[in-house]
Amino acid sequence: MVARIATGKSIHGVLHYNEQKVQEGKAELILASRFLQSPADLTFQQKLRRFRRLQEMAPRVKTNVLHISLNFHPTEQLTDIQYSQIAASYMQRIGFGEQPYLVYRHHDAGHPHLHLVTTNITRDGKRINTHNIGREKSEQARKAIEQEFGLLPAQGNAIVAALPRSLDQLEKVWYGQEETRQGIARVVHTILKHFNVTSLPELNVVLRQYNITADQGSANSLMHRRKGLVYSILGQDGQKAGVPLKASSLPGRPTLAKLEKQFSYNRQHRPFLCNVLRTHVTQALHQADRDGPPAFLQHLNRAGIQVLFRESARGQVYGATFLDYRNRAVINGRELGKAYGARQLLARLSRSQQGEGVVGTPRTGEITPAIKPRGVAPTSRGILPPATQPENVIRELLEARQEPAYLPAALKRKKRKRKKRYQTL
C-alpha cells in the first residue's frame, strides 16, 4: 500500500473533485465516518456543512483540509467493507479517527485506490498538527496495516525491479491503465539511461514520445524559483492528465539538480554524436537536391532520425531539432553548424523543390527507425515513432501540437509548371 497526503485550503474543491468522479461513474462513496446519515443519503451540501462547521471554529487556520490517497497493488481487489476497514484503521493510526471523514473508492486508474477527505480542525476548535505527518505517523501506519491486512508492502525497489532493461522494451504510458508513479518512473528512468540530452527541453522531446512531460512551472512560480520539477502523464489530446508527481518521489530522484549534472556529463559526448548526425543530414540534403524535399525526410527516417521544426504562434519557423533514435540523442540543428539551422534548411529545401506538391509522403514500408516507442501499431507507411508520420512531424518542441505535414506551408506550395518549348525542325 502507498499512502499520499495532501493539505489544502478549499474543502469545497476537494469535495467537488470526488463528487464529480462519482457522477462520472469513476468513483463511489463507501464510508462516511461521524456523519449522521449513511453515505447514500448524504447530499453535497450536507457533507460540505459538516466540515465547514468545524473549520469556522478556527477561522485563523487557513490550511484546514486533508486529501489522502491510499493506493493498492492491482492484484489487491478487495471488498468495500475491507477497504473501509483499512481506511478506518489508517485514520485512527495517524490521529484522525475522531474526525469526520469521507472515503471514496476510485476506479479511474490501473490500480485500486481510495481518496479520504477530512479536516484538521477538531470539535473544540483546535488544530491537529500535520507537520511531518507523513514521516512520523503515516509511514508507521502503512507498515502496520500491511501486516494487519496482508497487503503487499510498498517498496520502492519493487518499482525499480519492474523497470525495463532496454529501450526496446519501453512502452508508452496511457493514463488510467497503470499506476501513475510506476508508469512515469519506467519511462523517465529508461530515457535518462539511454538517451543523450543536454537540457530539459531536449529531455521533453523524448519523454513526449511516451506521453510524459517534465515541468518546472511558470517562470514566476514558487516551484520554478526553487528549482522544483514535476512529471505528468499526457492524455490523448496532448494535455496533462491526472496529478503531477514530484521528481523527488520517483526512484532515482530525477530532480532538476540531478538532471543538470547528467546534462553536463552528456555534453562530453556531443562532438561524436553531432558528427554522426551531421553526416546523415548532409546526405539527406544531397538526396533532396536530386529528388526533391520528400527525399530529405525519407533519408532521415530510414536512418532512424526524426526532424521537428519549431513554429511560433504566427506560424514562423524559428528552430529545428533532430531526434536520433539510432544513436539516442536529441540535437538542435544549430549545434551541427549554421547551415543546419531551421531557416537555412528550409531555404535549401525550398530551392530543391520541383513541384512535388505536399512534402512528406514516403513510399509504403520504407520508414522503419531503429528504435520506436512500443505499443505503436504498424501502418501502411511502416512502423513509426508516434510523431514520425508525415502528417504529424512538424510540431512545437515543447508542445504536443499536431501539424498536418512535415514542412511549413511555405514549402507545401506547388511551383508553377513551365511551359515546354518545342524546337522547330
Could you state, in order of their start, the residue ranges of all structural domains in the chain? 2-154, 158-268, 271-411
Q: Are 171 and 375 a contacting pair, CB within 8 Å?
A: yes
pTM of the predicted protein model: 0.51
User: Which of 399-408 are b and which e, b meaning 16 or more Cβ less than 10 Å from the residue's Cβ?
Assistant: ebeebebbbb
380 pLDDT above the threshold of 70: no
158 pLDDT above the threshold of 90: no
DSSP state, residue 303: T
pLDDT tens, residue by residue, 310-326: 777 787 778 889 999 88
pLDDT tens, residue by residue, 110-145: 678 999 999 999 999 999 999 889 888 999 999 999
DSSP string, 7-54: EES-HHHHHHHHHHHHHTTSEEEEEEET-SS-GGG--HHHHHHHHHHH
What distance in Å separates the CA atoms of residue 252 and residue 249, rounded to the nearest whole number? 9
HSE-up of 291 (CA within 13 Å, CB side)? 14
Q: Which CATH class is domain 2-154?
A: alpha beta
pLDDT tens, residue by residue, 252-287: 889 999 999 999 999 988 999 999 999 999 999 998
What grid cell was written down for 166? Answer: 532496454
User: Residue 406's pLDDT band (boundaries 50, 70, 90)?
Assistant: very low
What is the 3-state secondary structure of 189-246?
HHHHHHCECCCHHHHHHHHHHHCEEEECCCCCCHHHHCCCCEEEEECCCCCEEEEEEE
